[in-house]
């Protein structure tokens, strides 16, 4: 039983290519602990240590780098920003849900929101008071900290002033006593004057230090104040969110609006039938206007908020569309190239020519072509069709999206094409002989022999393609202003606040992690089709 579980886990680990987990499973079953420990050490502990070191280095470096948009966000700031992005996303989802909510659910939710709002009003008071208190406390603390330094500064200033005056009188007296013509006496006088100046300068330096101390104390943040302000902001934001929620559950709620319109319509209808002749026109007009409003309200959706998670999903969607288009072109062409040296010879110049072209060059071209083909998306049957599709429809496919996908396809198809051609061309002669002896027809040969044997290489190519596509996509979106990660990045860049700086760092990780996941998925596929049981490299 337990052994069965172990085998299952090992298989799962193997299939998902998460080989670093294998020693953990083996260790759990007490298999050769020293060996497993060593493997865990190498495959898990060392990477963890490396990650830790990276975080430390990051923190240290980010403290030092000061930019116009503020300090380079450290790990903590990045994490905070990530949570914030996530929170915003959830709130937007809530709002969207609220907008569509009807019936008792809406009322319950509304009650919930109102209760919380009431609580929050009190909390808000406390928080504001907290801020005021903290400010006072901070001022006190500041005064306390400043006072001794201030005193010192004053003392020092007085000391310097006195010293300067004394010195002046002394020197004047000495100068009066000088013998005209005694050069030595004159030289001694000059030297003593400079000595005196040096002593005063040293004191002035001390004064500068004290002044700097003073400034540091003044500038120092007061932690309780920061905390209090944060809390106040949080509460304020929540209140803002809940107010919006209340709105959406109340007056702005679609159901409510519709209900209001219905009532209006009924009233208007009633008014129409009772209206005297000449006023009937206006009444009728009102009815039809109200009806139009009903239709508009029914169709109107809550406006999509462009939060990062939404953009990420859209990007993933876009990369898959592009990747699928690319694969749909690359695999058949690759198979043809692999089967026929003639076609291969015909294709080689194009492959060589187009492969190195950058996505930046493709994008404007594709954008022009797609826009030209589509025209006005609202009147284009294909786009309208896409909008009606169940899943894709929610992503508002537009020409920019299609152009980005096309660029992804154009840039990523080469790896698949080349690998497919290679896979098909390098079929084992023995397997070809099997096909010949069995006298398999073209299609049978293709599907029973050629494709299966080319599949591992094909998937290796597709894995590369998907990776390339993901890299190309962000640039394409950025240029095409297609909603997605690229758009998010350029928006944050244009925004230029320190928060958006942190957001950009978050995007780095998001893009990296998604790229990694896509790669792992392709590895799993690749392993599933590799018949010799060979382990795909990481």
Partner 1 sequence: MSNNDSRYVEIVNLVKAYPNPLGDAIKVVDGYNLTIKKGDLVTVIGHSGCGKSTVLMMLAGLNPITSGDVVVDGRVVDGPGPDRAVVFQAPCLLPWLTSYGNVMLGVKRCYPHASKKDRDDIVKYYLNLVGLADSMHKYPREMSGGMQQRVGIARAIALKPKMLLLDEPFGRLDSLTRMDLQDTILDILDKEKITTMLITHDVDEAVYMADRICMMTNGPEARVGQVLNVPFERPRTRADVTSDDLFFDLRASLISFLEKNEKTRPGDQPAPAAQPLDQGVYEAPSLLDTHAPRGGGADLVLAGSTSGPGQGTLN
Nearer to partner 1, 265 or 460 (CB): 460
CB 506 within 8 A of CB 85: yes
Nearer to partner 1, 379 or 429 (CB): 429
Q: Is 379 helix (H, G, I), strand (E, B) or coil?
A: helix
Q: Is 437 in the site for partner 1 (CB under 8 A)?
A: yes
Q: How many residues does the chain have?
A: 538
Please tell me the distance from the alpha carbon of residue 11 to that of residue 147, in angstroms, as a whole number: 71
Contacts for 100-103: CB closer than 8 Å, 24+ residues apart? 100/254, 100/255, 100/302, 101/249, 101/253, 101/255, 102/253, 102/254, 102/255, 103/255
Task: Write down the least CB distance from residue 529 to partner 1, Å.
Answer: 8
Which of 224, 260, 452, 515 touches partner 1 (CB under 8 A)? 452
CB 460 within 8 A of CB 525: no
Stretch that binds partner 1, among 128-136, 150-158, 387-395, 524-532 (CB under 8 A): 524-532
Site for partner 1 in 456-495 (CB under 8 A): none
Nearer to partner 1, 208 or 430 (CB): 430
Q: Is 535 in the site for partner 1 (CB under 8 A)?
A: no
Q: Is 181 in the site for partner 1 (CB under 8 A)?
A: no
Q: What is the DSSP string of 46-70?
A: HHHHHHHHHHHHHHHHHHH-EETTE
H-type helices in 340-374, by residue range? 341-354, 359-374
Which of 183, 439, 443, 537 touches partner 1 (CB under 8 A)? 439
Site for partner 1 in 395-434 (CB under 8 A): 428, 430-431, 433-434
Stretch that binds partner 1, among 257-265, 438-446, 497-505, 519-527 (CB under 8 A): 438-446
Nearer to partner 1, 307 or 453 (CB): 453
Task: Write down the least CB distance from residue 112 to partner 1, Å.
Answer: 57
Which of 140, 436, 447, 496 touches partner 1 (CB under 8 A)? 436
Nearer to partner 1, 14 or 247 (CB): 14
Please tell me the distance from the alpha carbon of residue 400 to that of residue 159, in angstroms, as a whole number: 73
Q: Is 453 in the site for partner 1 (CB under 8 A)?
A: yes
Nearer to partner 1, 18 or 435 (CB): 435
Q: Is 440 in the site for partner 1 (CB under 8 A)?
A: yes
Task: Write down the least CB distance from residue 401 to partner 1, Å.
Answer: 37
- Judged on CB neighbours under 10 Å (0-12, 13-18, 19+), 53 is exposed
Please tell me the distance from the alpha carbon of residue 297 to that of residue 254, in angstroms, as a whole number: 7
Q: Is 446 in the site for partner 1 (CB under 8 A)?
A: no
Q: Is 532 in the site for partner 1 (CB under 8 A)?
A: yes
Angle at which helices 359-374 and 399-425 cross, to 10°: 120
Q: Is 533 in the site for partner 1 (CB under 8 A)?
A: yes
Nearer to partner 1, 444 or 495 (CB): 444
Structure-token pair, residue 78: 């990045």
Site for partner 1 in 349-388 (CB under 8 A): none
Task: Write down the least CB distance from residue 449 to partner 1, Å.
Answer: 7
Residues touching partner 1, count (CB under 8 A): 19
Please tell me the distance from the alpha carbon of residue 253 to that of residue 429, in angstroms, as a whole number: 69
Please tell me the distance from the alpha carbon of residue 411 to that of residue 325, in angstroms, as a whole number: 11
H-type helices in 375-428, by residue range? 381-388, 399-425
Task: Write down the least CB distance from residue 8 to partner 1, Å.
Answer: 18
Task: Write down the least CB distance from residue 431 to partner 1, Å.
Answer: 6
Phi/psi region, residue 304 (left: phi>0; alpha: psi -120 to 50; beta: rest), is: beta
Q: Is 536 in the site for partner 1 (CB under 8 A)?
A: no
Which of 17, 153, 449, 464 touches partner 1 (CB under 8 A)? 449
- Judged on CB neighbours under 10 Å (0-12, 13-18, 19+), 330 is buried
Please tell me the distance from the alpha carbon of residue 177 to that of residue 247, in angstroms, as a whole number: 92
What letter would DSSP give residue 533? -
Q: Is 7 in the site for partner 1 (CB under 8 A)?
A: no
Which of 8, 354, 509, 531 touches partner 1 (CB under 8 A)? 531
Stretch that binds partner 1, among 48-56, 103-111, 448-456, 499-507 (CB under 8 A): 448-456
List the end-to-end C-alpha distance of the chain, in Å, as a whole number.
Answer: 32
Nearer to partner 1, 308 or 455 (CB): 455
Task: Write down the least CB distance from residue 328 to partner 1, Å.
Answer: 23
Residues that bind partner 1 (CB under 8 A): 428, 430-431, 433-434, 436-440, 448-449, 452-453, 455, 529, 531-533
């Amino acid at each position: 039983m337990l052994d069965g579980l172990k085998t299952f886990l090992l298989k799962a680990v193997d299939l998902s290519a998460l080989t670093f987990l294998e020693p953990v499973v083996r260790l759990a079953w007490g298999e050769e602990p020293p060996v497993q420990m060593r493997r865990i050490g190498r495959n898990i502990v060392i990477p963890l240590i490396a990650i830790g070191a990276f975080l430390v280095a990051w923190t240290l470096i980010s403290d030092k780098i000061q930019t116009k948009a503020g300090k380079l966000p450290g790990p903590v700031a990045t994490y905070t920003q990530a949570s914030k992005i996530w929170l915003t996303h959830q709130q937007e989802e809530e709002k969207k849900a609220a907008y569509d909510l009807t019936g008792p659910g809406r009322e319950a939710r509304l009650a919930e929101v109102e209760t919380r709002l009431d609580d929050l009003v009190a909390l808000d008071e406390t928080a504001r008071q907290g801020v005021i208190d903290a400010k006072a406390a901070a001022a006190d603390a500041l005064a306390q900290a400043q006072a001794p330094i201030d005193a010192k500064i004053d003392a020092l200033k007085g000391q310097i002033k006195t010293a300067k005056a004394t010195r002046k009188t002394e020197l004047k007296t000495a100068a009066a006593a000088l013998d005209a013509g005694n050069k030595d006496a004159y030289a001694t006088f000059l030297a003593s004057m400079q000595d005196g100046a040096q002593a005063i300068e040293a004191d002035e330096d001390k004064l500068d230090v004290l002044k700097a101390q003073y400034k540091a104390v003044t500038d120092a943040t007061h932690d309780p104040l920061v905390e209090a302000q944060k809390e106040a902001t949080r509460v304020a934001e929540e209140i803002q969110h809940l107010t919006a929620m209340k709105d959406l559950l109340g007056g702005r709620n679609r159901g409510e609006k519709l209900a209001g319109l219905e009532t209006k319509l009924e009233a208007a209808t009633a008014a129409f039938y009772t209206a005297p002749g000449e006023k009937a026109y206006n009444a009728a007009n009102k009815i039809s206007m109200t009806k139009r409003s009903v239709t508009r309200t029914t169709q109107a959706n809550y406006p999509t908020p462009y939060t990062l998670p939404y953009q990420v999903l859209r990007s993933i969607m876009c990369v898959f569309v592009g990747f699928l288009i690319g694969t749909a072109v690359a695999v058949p062409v690759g198979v043809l190239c692999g089967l026929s040296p003639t076609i291969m010879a015909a294709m080689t110049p194009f492959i060589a020519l187009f492969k190195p072209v950058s996505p930046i060059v493709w994008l404007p071209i594709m954008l022009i072509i797609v826009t030209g083909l589509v025209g006005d998306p609202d009147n284009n049957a294909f786009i309208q069709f896409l909008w009606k599709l169940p899943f894709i429809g929610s992503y508002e496919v537009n020409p920019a999206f299609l152009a980005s996908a096309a660029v992804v396809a154009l840039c990523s198809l080469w790896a698949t094409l080349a690998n497919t051609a290679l896979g098909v061309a390098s079929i084992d002669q023995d397997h070809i002989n099997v096909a010949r002896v069995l006298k398999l027809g073209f299609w049978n040969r293709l599907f029973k022999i050629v494709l299966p044997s080319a599949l591992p290489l094909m998937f290796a190519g597709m894995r590369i393609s998907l990776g390339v596509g993901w890299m190309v996509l962000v640039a394409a979106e950025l240029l095409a202003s297609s909603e997605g990660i690229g758009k998010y990045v350029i928006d944050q860049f244009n925004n230029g606040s320190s928060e958006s700086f942190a957001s950009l760092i978050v995007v780095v990780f998001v893009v990296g992690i998604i790229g990694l996941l896509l790669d792992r998925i392709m590895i799993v596929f690749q392993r599933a089709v590799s018949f010799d049981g060979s382990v795909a490299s990481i």
